[in-house]
Amino acid sequence: MVANFRKYLFTFLVWGVFALNGCNNDPFGLFGSTDLDIRWKSRNTFNFLSPEDLNISLGDSYSFMVIGDIHINNGDTYGLDNLKNVIDSDVEFIVFNGDITQNGKRKDIEAFKEIAREIALTLDVPCYPVIGNHDIYFGNWPEWKELIGSTCYRVNGGGATLLFMDSANAYFGDKQLDWLEDELKQADGRVFVFSHVNLFSENLASLQQFTDIRERARITSLLKGNCDAMFMGHVHQRIVRELGGVKYISIEDYRDHNVYCQVWVSQNGIRWEFKKL
């Protein structure tokens, strides 16, 4: 019995260390919401994106930007309002790839929306939000639902397909992966997938963040031959891998590194560059 107790205690302590060394080193992640099924039922609710945002025309050559892990906290956007000053004329859209806020507070979601609205209005560049684990802390999913809406959606790009997924609970779930499979069958042109939580990690401490290797196997199998690139964040590391012809690109956090990724698409393929704001 003592041996079993020690084993369980050791397991608990190791799990606790992993949790505290996960995304943003924030112990309050332990209180993240677990209502993926509830969010799934709201997948056709759009309170931020317009019908025009969901149907854009990209053409053969264009650029887009991906930025993640901003962790807006108490209104502090860490200089994100300067993003509008570095948007090139060929940028067609921007993806904010999860953990937009530190803990899902209403005023922090509003701070993001204000920046995104200005970019959309002044530069005619739509901004697409992805939900992250921090965005649903303390049961704050209802705030996201009211202010933004769906956490799983498709954007038709007129020559490209953009698929946005909800991995805020470190898994996708069968319903969402079934949705992905169906959408890939109907995808037009180049395909880009966006998810906050990383499928791969370079350190043991982040492994607890995506624990279902069966889901990882399924999604990589689905994307093989059907997707150009999948963009992720969460682990605050730059990780670039290629599997089955798909580029898996993880971007370090904006909050501490001021980094974003710019991607150029042409008939010859895609290329990307990590930049600092």
Q: Encode pLDDT of 40-87 as tens digits.
A: 999 999 999 999 999 999 988 999 999 999 999 999 999 999 999 999
Count of positions (residues) in the chain: 277
- pLDDT at position 10 over 90: no
Averaged over 76-102, what is the pLDDT?
A: 97
Q: HSE of 153 in the Cβ direction (CA atoms, 13 Å)?
A: 26
- pLDDT at position 93 over 90: yes
Please choose, from the candidates 64, 221, 44, 31, the residue with its C-alpha nearest in 3D space to the C-alpha of residue 133.
Answer: 31
39's CB contacts (< 8 A; 6+ apart) are 131, 141, 145, 151, 152, 166, 168
- Extended beta strands in 58-107, E state: 62-67, 91-97
The whole-number pLDDT of residue 205 equals 47
Averaged over 243-272, what is the pLDDT?
A: 96
Averaged over 117-131, what is the pLDDT?
A: 97
Q: How do residues 159-218 score in pLDDT, each as one tens digit?
A: 899 999 999 998 999 999 999 999 999 999 999 999 999 998 765 444 445 557 889 999
162's CB contacts (< 8 A; 6+ apart) are 93, 95, 128, 154, 155, 192, 194
The whole-number pLDDT of residue 211 equals 58
The whole-number pLDDT of residue 35 equals 85
DSSP-assigned letter for residue 159: S
The whole-number pLDDT of residue 70 equals 98
The whole-number pLDDT of residue 1 equals 52
Please choose, from the candidates 72, 65, 116, the residue with its C-alpha nearest in 3D space to the C-alpha of residue 86.
Answer: 65
Q: Which CATH architecture has domain 2-276?
A: 4-Layer Sandwich (3.60)
Mean pLDDT of the chain: 88
* 106 band by pLDDT with thresholds 50, 70 and 90: very high
Between these two residues, 35 and 104, which has the higher pLDDT value? 104
CB atoms under 10 Å from CB of 160, counted, come to 24
- Write the burial class of residue 132 (CB in 10 Å: 0-12 exposed, 13-18 middle, 19+ buried): buried
The whole-number pLDDT of residue 31 equals 47
- Per the CB < 8 A criterion, the answer to whether 129 and 80 are in contact is no
The whole-number pLDDT of residue 208 equals 44
Q: Provide, rounded to the nearest whole percent, the portion of the chain with pLDDT above 70.
A: 84
Q: SS3 for 218?
A: helix
- pLDDT at position 13 over 80: no
What are the residue ranges spanned by the domains of the chain?
A: 2-276
- The three-state DSSP-derived secondary structure of 8-58 is HHHHHHHHHHHHHCCHHHCHHHHHECCCHHHHHHCCCCECCCCCCCCECCC
- pLDDT at position 28 over 50: no
> In 3-state terms, the chain is what percent helix, strand and coil (to 5)?
35, 25, 40
Query: Which tokens hold the place of 100?
Result: 């937009």
Q: Which range (30-44, 133-147, 227-241) has the least confidence?
A: 30-44
* 21 band by pLDDT with thresholds 50, 70 and 90: very low
